[in-house]
Amino acid sequence: MPRKTLISSSSGLVEDVADPASRRGPGAEDFSPEFQLSFPYRGVFIWHVGREEVVGDANQILFVTGGEAFRLSIPRPGGFSELIVTPTQSILREVTEATGFDLEDHPSFRARSRMATPCIQRECAALLHDAETQRATEALEAEEQLLDLLRAAFAVELATKTPSTRTRRLIRRTKEFLESTFSMSLRLTDVAEAVGASSTYLTDVFSRFEGVSLHRYVTQLRLARALVELPEAGDLTRLALDLGFSSHSHFTLAFRRAFGCTPSAFRARSTRKLRDAMHAATRPARGNVKLTSSVAP
């Protein structure tokens, strides 16, 4: 899969990974020799690991145990994109032990996935945008970004209940359906019918085990896509409608609640970063951080 290095430092590696494939069945078996965290930000995929099938979408953080075999499949055309974070062993141990667990026994790696908060989604979008604008990030700033992202990922509240296999499959089907339809106007009966459950049962199960309502899950998917699209968006009303919001004001209210600023303010800051990066292009980059646009197979 194409990879682009966003950060390479003494604390770890952050890569932007894209898979444009449209296969439906599991791909070739693979594994990571290192413990990693995956932050999907576009599309959806299924991570087949052990006996589990874990959904990867923009609302999830995936925790990859080093040396554990897995396969990936893509349930619908369009492929997916994700940030892969590979911290150094010493950094990862320090971060996980600060939460009261040894690395090998940490509940996040046993659970394999957690909900990503709006703060985490914004941090990922910032890393992507900095790379796309070729902003010369200093080593100190980049390492702080990496550590902040790690701390936030492991600070997510740990689940206290373990769903049954049947419930996990229902939740997986629901996530797949929501990711493929989040830009549409959805009714609860449509979602329940698509995944084969009653509305009452589905809303109860989903909120209990995911920690958010179906509506909030869809809103976070829309907002996560907005973070990626906003820097290049010309017409904010058009973007709002394309993402599934009923109006520009609806989009603005949801965005402000999640990220503490309006979409236009976020876009303006992104534009300023681009201007600053262009202005600084004549100056040599400092530090040992690699921000590159080259793609390695």
Tens of pLDDT, residues 34-55: 999 999 999 999 999 988 999 9
Q: Is the CB of residue 64 less than 8 Å from the CB of residue 93?
A: no
Q: Is the CB of residue 17 less than 8 Å from the CB of residue 83?
A: yes
In this prediction, residue 19 carries a pLDDT of 86
In angstroms, the Cα distances linking 263 to 126, 219, 223, 241, 245 are 14, 15, 10, 14, 13
Q: Is the CB of residue 55 less than 8 Å from the CB of residue 114?
A: no
Q: Where are the domains of the chain?
A: 1-160, 165-284
CA angle 226, 149, 262 (to 5 degrees): 30
Calculate the average pLDDT of the chain: 86
Q: Does the fold of domain 165-284 match that of domain 1-160?
A: no
In this prediction, residue 270 carries a pLDDT of 81
**pLDDT surpasses 60 at 288:** no
If you classify domain 1-160 with CATH, what class do you get?
A: mainly beta
Q: Which pLDDT band holds residue 194 (cuts at 50, 70, 90)?
A: very high
Tell me the pTM: 0.83
**pLDDT surpasses 80 at 205:** yes
**pLDDT surpasses 50 at 296:** no
In this prediction, residue 297 carries a pLDDT of 33
**pLDDT surpasses 60 at 249:** yes
pLDDT in tens, 136-166: 556 677 788 888 899 999 986 655 567 888 9
Report the share of the chain in percent with pLDDT over 90.
59
Sign of CA dihedral 69, 75, 76, 82: negative
Q: Is the CB of residue 171 less than 8 Å from the CB of residue 161?
A: no
In this prediction, residue 15 carries a pLDDT of 94
Q: Which residues of 198-230 are buried (b: 16+ CB within 10 A; e: fewer)?
A: eeeebbebbeebbeeebeebbbbbbbbbbbbbb
**pLDDT surpasses 60 at 99:** yes
In this prediction, residue 269 carries a pLDDT of 86
In this prediction, residue 78 carries a pLDDT of 82
In this prediction, residue 280 carries a pLDDT of 59
In this prediction, residue 282 carries a pLDDT of 53
* Residue with the larger pLDDT of the pair 296 and 133: 133
Q: Which pLDDT band holds residue 293 (cuts at 50, 70, 90)?
A: very low
In the three-class reduction of DSSP (H, G, I as helix; E, B as strand; rest coil), residue 120 is classed as helix
**pLDDT surpasses 70 at 119:** yes
Instruction: Specify the CATH number for 165-284; select among 3.40.630.40, 1.20.910.10, 3.30.565.10, 1.10.10.60.
Output: 1.10.10.60
